[in-house]
Chain A
């Protein structure tokens, strides 16, 4: 399966559509300051369309599929028997129904939390090891980013359909909603400070109003995403972690209850939206 990733990467290089879009992006980003805001938005939109067929996230998807099928950990088994909510081994469409309550763990879990659970329970990897490297850095890749890319891509075109049928799902939604409006830290910021009203921007960056269904759908269904500015796929857990950093909060722990609660709130608000992840962002 590692071979599959390499073959796909080679094809991309031959086609030449791996590198060219980056040059276009660099030019667009450099000229963005000189254009007016609306023009910039249009140009970014145009760039997104141009590169849509050559999203580098595809490399992560292929690598993630390899990791999914690889025998790993002390038990030397693959993740193929991992139950992501629709039965052991089912990957297609699962992301549209996460987070959800899992009886075997007696906990509501988002995708990343469930992947960690499967690494621990199926492969015998320690929880600490499974959680060690959730976000890549300049000199260290992250298997989690690849696995998440693979799984989410298998829900492309599927409509978000998060259920709150279990009491613990309803509780997590409610707790996530409370968190969304929680103001704290030296700057008094909450999630709602930036994401609670329509048609706002930070500098030139449009801000989705995550309490409005249309914006919430557009935002949620395009995460995870390949971030051109960071040259990697970023997961939804990363998105929340980085929001809180800018909110001047302490660090949100990977797969913590709070991260799952907030994800439940945001995913449910995006119900009905069609998944298009991993997407491509600036």
Chain B
């Protein structure tokens, strides 16, 4: 204990001499209050959007690609999984799913109240061969269903992953479309069909 008491101030001095001048706690606190006073509500985006839930607060501590302790990921995944609500019918219509996958609007302050809310899957994922304008933030989902089959557990897994990516992969980059009430049950079922239906362009 005595050595600790001597070492800690020494470490603080060294850090202060470099680039850091605020403690972790101070920086955390001040960045939050700074953001609160630097944004203003506009359109549908209120300042409440800056209030983090537990998952957002924990995930903000880790850099992309940084390994997160197993007890942290397990705790998040368990709690998020428990909150998934499944509809009676997990698979909808893949054609409707394709339309939802292409739409990039929704929830921006520039989106009017009647603007469609889409999933914008192609922004981050390759999905079908026809659509060559796709992003690479997420993995390719081309032939997703062909590789996995259309079993009931696979439908449940796929719907669940769209509903809440963090239930399977804590701190995923993917929005929690069901958990955060971004998409409707029908839209998520249509996306499940887009990924799994053997007739979908994803599986050609």
Interface residues of A (CB under 8 A from B): 33, 36-37, 164, 167, 170-171, 173-175, 178-179, 181-190, 192-194, 196-197, 199-205, 207, 211, 244-246, 248-253, 256-259, 261
Contact = CB atoms under 8 A, between A and B. Distances in A.
A224 B38 CA distance: 22
Contacts of A189: 175
Contacts of A171: 21-22, 30
Contacts of A190: 60
A188 B27 contact: no
Given A173-B19, A196-B64, A200-B137, A178 B39 contact: no
8 contacts: A184-B56, A187-B182, A201-B137, A203-B123, A244-B39, A245-B110, A249-B50, A250-B40
Contacts of B41: 250-251
Interface stretch (B84-92, B93-101, B127-135): B127-135
A249 B31 contact: no
Given A171-B22, A193-B137, A193-B173, A248 B37 contact: no
Contacts, number: 150
B168 interface: no
B137 A202 contact: yes
Contacts of B55: 188
Nearest to B28: A178
A253 B34 contact: no
Given A182-B52, A187-B107, A192-B64, 11 more contacts: A164-B19, A171-B30, A188-B55, A194-B137, A203-B122, A203-B123, A203-B135, A250-B109, A251-B42, A257-B37, A258-B34
A249 B62 CA distance: 20
A224 to B, nearest CB: 21
Contacts of A187: 107, 175, 180, 182
A249 B35 CA distance: 11
A33 B102 CA distance: 14
B156 to A, nearest CB: 23
A190 B61 CA distance: 11
Nearest to A196: B64
Contacts of B39: 244, 249-253, 256, 258
A203 B158 CA distance: 22
Interface in B35-54: 35, 37-42, 45-47, 49-52
A178 B27 contact: yes
Given A186-B182, A251-B45, A200 B136 contact: yes
A190 B65 CA distance: 14
B40 A253 contact: yes
A261 to B, nearest CB: 6
Nearest to A195: B64
Contact of B124 (A37, A202, A248): A202
A170 B108 contact: no
Contacts of B137: 193-194, 197, 200-202, 207
A164 B19 CA distance: 7
A245 B110 CA distance: 7
B2 interface: no
A64 to B, nearest CB: 26
Contacts of A251: 39-42, 45, 109
Nearest to A35: B132
B176 A188 contact: yes
